[in-house]
Structure 1
Amino acid sequence: MTAPAKPPTAFRAVSRVLDVLSTAALWLAAIGLVAMTLIVGWQVFGRYVLNSTPIWSEPLTLQLMSWFIVFGAAVGVRENFHLGLDLLHYLLPDAVGKVFDAITLVLMIVFGVAMSFYSAQLAIGTWSATLPALGWPGSFDFLPMVIGGALITLFSLERLVELAAGARHAPETQDVANIEVV
């Protein structure tokens, strides 16, 4: 098997920036998950111990959940963690696998652009509304999808450029006969 081609220097610089962006998204997702857990704990404590449920806790946990879900999904796109039909990579010739990868990445780019675009329209349309329990503009419900769609688009574009340059980001195809069964 030949070594993957090295991407151009400019691409490697962009890739390093996207590394930082991906790491930041992952950290923000983790912090959001921990914060949501603490808020739900406070909500349960308030309801059953203090007999007074804080009205802000549920909408805030939903906001945090929206953020960490889309950040985690975007990082999953970049790291190729999502479910896929990897079996095809083992059974089909490498060239066919690359075509399938390219089609998948183009579809993910289209999805990310559409998600950002239509979510931005919803955010603009709900800016004057107010989320009652939090007092925030209604567009805050759609901002995670705007940013998440943009991240999905960026990370999918990066993987598509890698694929075109021959530096395959997807799991390497292995010889099925050499797979060790434990």
Structure 2
Amino acid sequence: MLFYTRFCALLSKLSLMLAVAGLIVLIACVQYQVVGRYVFNDTPTWAEALALLLVLYITALGVAVGVRDAGHIGMDSIVSLLPEKFRLKLEIVIHLLVGLFGALMVQNGWLWTTMKWNDKKPMLSVPSGLDFLPLVIAGVLIVLFSIEHIIALLQGKEVIPAWN
């Protein structure tokens, strides 16, 4: 379990760092677009398309980190009111459902990624399938992090957020 926890913590931290780097690039793209439009009267067409693509990746990575670090909206108030024997079972069911959702993200995201891979985005000349790849990445991370939470619950441990 220790190896798996460290592995998930590393994945979570890397995902968060990539999301922050993506956010910095996103801000630069938007600034470049604004300066091009209002200062030089020449709008760079690729900047908006890249910014929209970055939003998908930033959001997907952020969602996955939120699942691991319990930053997502939960039903903690209801769960905490239950007796201990029901609380553990319900928490496991919640993580199983979150993991199932992640698996569905992987399945359907991969389907759309492969279907759209040969199409090109007009403004960036990259595969349109890149729009759906964040679903696959986030889904895999969500499944891994949900498994980590279930193992921790069964062992009576708590998952420590990677950013601490």
Q: Tell me, yes or no, whether TM beats 0.5.
A: yes
Q: Does structure 2 conserve the Cα–Cα contact (< 8 Å) formed by 1:129 and 1:138?
A: yes
Distance 1:163 1:90 in 2: 14
Q: Does structure 2 conserve the Cα–Cα contact (< 8 Å) formed by 1:124 and 1:139?
A: yes
Residue 166 of structure 1: how far off its partner (Å): 1.6
Distance 1:86 1:105 in 2: 12
Matched, 1:105 2:133: no
TM-score w.r.t. length of structure 2 = 0.93
Matched, 1:43 2:33: yes
Residue 168 of structure 1: how far off its partner (Å): 3.6
Distance 2:50 2:80 in 1: 44
What letter matches 1:145 in structure 2? L
The residue number in structure 2 matching 1:24 is 14
Task: Spell out the pairing of 1:4-153 with structure 2 (5 A cutoff).
Answer: 11-153=1-143
What residue ranges of structure 1 are gaps of 5+ in the alignment? 1-10, 171-182
What letter matches 1:99 in structure 2? K
Distance 2:141 2:74 in 1: 20
Residue 97 of structure 1: how far off its partner (Å): 1.6
TM-score w.r.t. length of structure 1 = 0.84
Residue 94 of structure 1: how far off its partner (Å): 2.0
Q: Does structure 2 conserve the Cα–Cα contact (< 8 Å) formed by 1:115 and 1:146?
A: yes
What residue ranges of structure 2 are gaps of 5+ in the alignment? none
- Structure 1 runs of 4+ aligned residues shifted over 6 Å read none
Q: Secondary structure at the match of 2:45?
A: coil
Residue 95 of structure 1: how far off its partner (Å): 2.0
Percent of paired sites with the same residue: 36
Distance 1:110 1:167 in 2: 22
The residue number in structure 2 matching 1:166 is 156
Distance 1:137 1:75 in 2: 26
Residue 30 of structure 1: how far off its partner (Å): 0.6
What letter matches 2:108 in structure 1? Y
The alignment's C-alpha RMSD in Å is 1.3
Q: Does structure 2 conserve the Cα–Cα contact (< 8 Å) formed by 1:88 and 1:97?
A: no
Q: Does structure 1 conserve the Cα–Cα contact (< 8 Å) formed by 2:152 and 2:159?
A: yes
Q: How many residues align?
A: 160
Distance 1:18 1:86 in 2: 22
Distance 2:147 2:101 in 1: 12
What letter matches 1:62 in structure 2? L
